[in-house]
Amino acid sequence: MFRNQYDSDVTVWSPQGRLHQVDYAVEAMKQGSATVGVKSETHAVLVALKRAANELCSHQKKIYELDVHAGVSIAGLLSDGRILARFLQTECSSWRWDYKEPVPIQVLNNRIQLKLQANTQYYGRRPFGVGLVIAGYDDRGAHIVKTDPSAEVVETFASSIGARSQSARTYLERHLNEFPGSSVDQLVEHALLALRDTLPAEDNLSKKNTTIAVVGKGMPFKVMDDDDVSPHLERIDSIPRSGVHGEPVPEPMQQS
């Protein structure tokens, strides 16, 4: 993308009916490392690829717990993702304080949509350069919700965002009918296989660069890192990849 006379502010429309500042924010989301969410009738799973700026740095945190029944994974600008995760944590806490129960996922969807939309409409603001995949469980069942910088908030059966996420979506679409009846371990396996398809041929998932989170019926939100991830990765080692890409991934600073 190149600078033009219609991208000076988020309130300026182009003749084609586009908000270029929003388009740029969507591109920032696409450059973040990939994350995948899948759900069955009773559980939801998030998996995320963590990125380190260089070999001397620790891997960036990708998945945040919002409450005992919900969590979020981010792709895009790390700082923007933290702000939105903190906002959602505050909304969960406020609802629990007021109503003595966990916030329904639909309420979270409405709140985050209002937060995102305000930054696409008012002068002097910029859209959040991050996408979210929210996983949760409430009295309506398991939920996977995808957001993007344009304030589009969509509940899905499975979702992926970030770099090369189309490869993951292809896997998810191919196996979509298997998800409703899957066990937790099977859901994790599907999510990891989809995430693995976003990597170049010479790279692979490891306990250092992979995070898994699970929530569902009778199971509070739990994030797994490092050694907790290893047993799940071992189960997919012998399964061949369904898609491999060799093109380089952009490595913008402060991307998650």
pLDDT tens across the length of the chain (256 residues) = 555 666 666 777 778 888 888 889 999 999 999 999 999 999 999 999 998 776 767 778 899 999 999 999 999 999 999 999 999 999 999 999 999 999 999 999 999 999 999 999 888 888 999 999 999 999 999 999 999 999 999 999 999 999 999 999 999 999 999 999 999 999 999 999 999 999 988 888 988 999 999 999 999 999 999 899 999 999 998 888 775 443 443 444 445 5
For the entire predicted model, the pTM comes to 0.89
R_g over Cα of the chain: 18
pLDDT for 123: 84
Place of tokens 């409450």: 67
Tell me the two tokens of residue 249.
């991934």
| pLDDT at position 243 | 52
Query: Which among 191, 131, 180 is positioned nearest to 157, based on CA atoms?
Result: 180
Which residue, among 169, 148, 140, 141, has the nearest Cα to 37 in the 3D structure? Answer: 169
The contacts of residue 158 (CB under 8 Å, 6+ apart) are 36, 37, 38, 39, 144, 172, 176, 179, 194
∠ Cα 173 176 180 (to 5°): 160
| Phi and psi at residue 55, to the nearest 5° | -65, -20
DSSP reduced 3-state for 246: coil
Task: Give all strands (DSSP E) within the chain, no chain letters.
Answer: 35-39, 43-49, 63-67, 70-76, 130-138, 141-147, 153-156, 158-161, 210-216, 219-224
Q: For position 245, what pLDDT does the model report?
A: 43
Predicted pLDDT at 58: 75
Give the residue from 21, 43, 3 showing the smallest Cα distance to 216.
Answer: 43
Provide, for the chain, the percentages of residues in helix, strand and coil under a 3-state DSSP scheme, each rounded to the nearest 5: 35, 25, 40
Specify the fold of 34-236. Answer: Glutamine Phosphoribosylpyrophosphate, subunit 1, domain 1 (3.60.20)
Q: How far apart are the first and last CA of the chain?
A: 21
| CA distances (Å), origin 183, targets 39, 43, 68 | 10, 8, 20
pLDDT of residue 11: 74
Domain regions of the chain by residue span: 34-236
Distance of CA 185 to the CA centre of its chain: 20
